[in-house]
Structure 1
Amino acid sequence: MTAPHDLSSLAELLRIMARLRDPDGGCPWDLEQSFETIAPYTIEEAYEVEDAIARKDIAGLKDELGDLLLQVVFHARMAEEAGHFAFPDVAAGIADKMIRRHPHVFGDVDAKHADAVSNNWETIKAAERAAKAEALADQGLSPVLAGVTAGLPALLRAVKLQNRAARVGFDWPDKAPVLEKIREELGELEAEIQAGTSARIEEEFGDFLFVVANLARHLKLDPEAAMRAANRKFERRFSQMEAILKAQGKDLADCDLMTMDVAWNAAKAMEKKT
């Protein structure tokens, strides 16, 4: 087994990527890629890491972390080829940032509890954001919302935007007015559905989801994690429903909604008993 401190495997990975991107005999597919074409794979691999964790698949987690690391190496290689930066610059940058953001470990700041660490972390990040404030103002962007990546999943980004706004007091005091706002937004969505204006329906649906994300904040829930869990539950119950129908000699494609609904409820009941 490779020792934890042995970086030869990382050097080999960097060498492999350089070979794949070599115009003289490299991989045609790898050579055609760009930051833009690889970005979706990077996001997908991050979600596959999360999925392995959710399934408590430790062997799978090792593989998925490798796939995610490959994405970092791929982007760094393309940047090096363009003369921007290389993998060591990426590693040095995050190392410097971790030292800067942990003065209670690498400096003389006293932070013995998790809450103190979190508060100190936010203070340091706020200072970093403040350094970007002037440039953002020139672009017509709010420094308060600076750094909330546009490419994040929409529900996650909504929560992060709301958290930033809450830091300056722009927030409801508790979940009760959020629930009331959800009812209000649902009413507005229903009105637009009845009116049949497609553009307005999409806008009101977005408003509804945005407030639902705010409720998740007040409940201290991760809406993306909750939605992923709901997706997994749907997959599990749908598969069980299909198995029930098959045991009855029925083909899913030939069943009407009422028949499927009976099997769905049976699947739910079976799940509650386990």
Structure 2
Amino acid sequence: MTIPELDDFLDRSGLVKLDVPRRLTPLTGGVSSDIWRVEVADGRSLCVKRALAKLKVAADWQAPVSRNAYEWAWIQFAVGVLPQAVPQPLAHDESVGMFAMGYLDPATHPVWKQQLLSGEVDVQLARQVGRVVGQLHQASAHRADLAQRFDTGANFHALRLEPYLVATAHRHPDLASQLHALVHRTAHHPIALVHGDVSPKNILVGPQGPVLLDAECAWYGDPAFDVAFCLNHLLLKCVVVPHRRAELQAAFEAWVMGYFESTDFEPRSQLELRCAQLLPALMLA
């Protein structure tokens, strides 16, 4: 997004009028969106996010920009369930594909991924993350209104199933039938509202607990995907940070415990089976 586009959005949304001094800083690190920090003269600090049609990666990875509106809708849902677990939603303009949310300072909200990579493994934090994901799944399970609002199967296929499972099937033809079966089952299991990118890089460690970011893949589907996706990252950290393997395994178990403490929307054995089948596929991906 250009600075004039950003200024126009801030003005039209009523967040920051054109005559109010502000400092605009592009935030780096993401590949799927332009994100700017806006520091206003009155002391407010917020973020504006706009989805990119072409992701900032080497491959030609195109993605529907409508995901910005679905991320906004996911935040709106989540803030009604667990307001401390998401940034404060401030304004949205679907016509230009932008939304604004509260800015969370890294000094008070470090990224969980960085803590894990540095060898700082908080088992109770992992349990809290599992609990938050479980509570959001529980609050959204078996709801026809959310199934209709987040009928985003095409987006989810393009952003998650295709690059992870379908692409892996092409790389490993001996496993193609199993991977395609996982794709089909995952795509046809509408049970709860799925975040789609629950990974440590998208989780901030806040004073009141974990904060989830980047719900661009939001989709009403199989909650097993969120569970397996995050647990996969914890397992992979065992390879990257081998001297903390025991603690990471304990964090894995705590995450699962926190999740199932918060859910009863389907028999645990059924959800665990789907997670267990997704997990090695995601790890291979």
TM-score after normalising by structure 1? 0.28
Higher relative contact order (CA 8 A, sep 6+): 2
| Larger proportion of strand | 2
Based on CA coordinates, which of the two structures has the bigger radius of gyration? 1
| Larger proportion of helix | 1
TM-score after normalising by structure 2? 0.27
